[in-house]
Amino acid sequence: MVSHNKRIVAALAAVAAMGIGLAGCGGSDTAGDTKSGSDGGVVNITYMHRLPDSEGMTLVNDIVAKWNKEHPNIQVKATKFDGNAADMIKKLETDVKAGNAPDLAQVGYAEVPEVFTKGLLQDVTDEAAKYKDDFASGPFALMQVDGKTYGLPQDTGPLTYFYNAAEFEKLGITVPKTADELIETAKKTAAQGKYIMTFTPDEAMMMMSGQAGASGPWYKVDGNSWVVNTQTKGSKAVADVYQQLIDNKAALTNPRWDASFDNSIQSGQLIGTVAAAWEAPLFIDSAGGTGAGEWKVTQLGDWFGNGTKTGANGGSGVAVLKGSKHPAEAMEFLDWFNTQVDDLVSQGLVVAATTADAKTPQKWSDYFSGQDVMAEFKTANDNMGDFTYMPGFSAVGAAMKQTAAKAADGSAKVSDVFDTAQKTSVDTLKNLGLSVKE
């Protein structure tokens, strides 16, 4: 589906695996055979990625060429995988078993538990500790499993709030700070044909878990077992707010990746929505020029018992794969690569690195009222809460989307989305042969 592909390209993988533990399987501390090696004192490192490499971007091979020129003793070869994340994982699994996997591979944060469970990752905790200060703490934690680190973060997708400041001013409203203010303001503007919130069922997997996860995680490990609780205080708060918005017809329920969502912006009907940071260029495209210079980005209010925290929606890191003979050199390169801020921003990334301030692309600044959008996204990065994904979360997300669609048309409640997540989570973990405490 075109809309789904647009989302994947922008997110560059889809977020989050903070400090999880798994029993009985996973990454190895021991290096095995690999294609990379040494040749006359030169260490050869291989890196597989799914970055766009589109026209006008600084190409990955050009970034790598700079490293190779400056580091003659550590030479890197980058390979672009043309396919979706699931297919890339299948290839990596085959390559690891065959002993010819790349040293480094791009992995979505939400995929970290899965590739760990499959035994594809190599523990690089000690090496990663050297570079921890180069990255925001939230994204750095997304590359950890049970307290051990398996790579470094590259990009991120904290949830923020996009709003049409000009329309807000005309209506005499400000961005709500509390749940009660949000609901009352949404009802007030809806009565005038303007909507400051959306409930997007096709984004339920990441949007609902992200908003709920700002207040606390759903998954943790106790001993050798997973503990699942998708009905946290945060989840209940999210369900309550959105149910009130839907019941009062105070939120639009168009799917995010449907033309009707774009039309709602272009018609001036939609004037506010929760959105991931990576969505900025896609939102501009959806608007088709409407509202240019009027929209702004800000942090989420304390709408779901989240305080000043926000949740994650998308993003990826780069992991060291099991069998790498040169994990130290691989991590040295990876830290350098993931801190090439300007080059990575050119690829459309909201970077996880804190070593330099990312410059807001001019097109983004023009649309968002001249705002330094990247600075706002950096603040959101720093405010990201701890949320943990589980192996097989894609199955949970698919079930959540189905229930969310029913909640949107009134045939189910928003709370049912989290009930679905609970049941599907437990069933999925058990189907994977993992222990679950209920």
Residue-wise pLDDT tens digits, 296-336: 999 999 999 999 999 989 889 999 999 999 999 999 999 99
The segment with the largest mean pLDDT, out of 62-66, 310-314, 377-381, is 62-66
Confidence of residue 379 (pLDDT cuts 50, 70, 90): very high
Architecture of the domain defined by 42-155+314-357: 3-Layer(aba) Sandwich (3.40)
Q: Higher model confidence: residue 27 or residue 262?
A: 262
Neighbours of 288 (CB within 10 A): 12
At 222 the pLDDT is 87
**Residue 109 gets which letter from DSSP?**
G
At 389 the pLDDT is 87
- Structure tokens, 227: 């503990």
CATH match for 157-310+384-430 among 3.30.70.2740, 3.40.710.10, 3.40.50.360, 3.40.190.10: 3.40.190.10
Looking at the chain, the whole-number percentage of residues with pLDDT higher than 90 is 78
Confidence of residue 30 (pLDDT cuts 50, 70, 90): very low
Looking at the chain, the whole-number percentage of residues with pLDDT higher than 70 is 91
Structure confidence by residue, pLDDT tens digits, 149-207: 999 999 999 999 999 999 999 999 999 999 999 999 999 999 999 999 999 999 999 99
Neighbours of 62 (CB within 10 A): 12
Average pLDDT over residues 145-150: 89
**Beta pairing class for 144-145 and 74-80:** unpaired
Predicted TM-score (pTM) of the model is: 0.83
Q: Which residues contact 146 (CB under 8 A, 6 or more apart)?
A: 19, 20, 21, 22, 26, 221
At 142 the pLDDT is 86
Return mean pLDDT, the chain.
90
Average pLDDT over residues 217-245: 94
**Beta pairing class for 225-228 and 436-437:** parallel
Decide if 414 contacts 420 (C-beta within 8 A).
no
Domains 42-155+314-357 and 157-310+384-430 alike in fold = yes
Q: Where are the domains of the chain?
A: 42-155+314-357, 157-310+384-430
Task: List 135's β-bridge partners, or say none.
Answer: 353
The segment with the largest mean pLDDT, out of 4-13, 132-141, 245-254, is 245-254
Burial (0-12, 13-18, 19+ Cβ within 10 Å), 361: middle
At 125 the pLDDT is 98
**Element of type H or E holding 49:** strand 42-49
At 385 the pLDDT is 85
Q: Which residue, 143, 92, 128, 121, is CA-closest to 324?
A: 121
d(CA 74, CA 14): 31
At 39 the pLDDT is 58
Q: Inform me whether the pLDDT recorded for 16 exceeds 80.
A: no
Q: Higher model confidence: residue 94 or residue 34?
A: 94
At 40 the pLDDT is 63
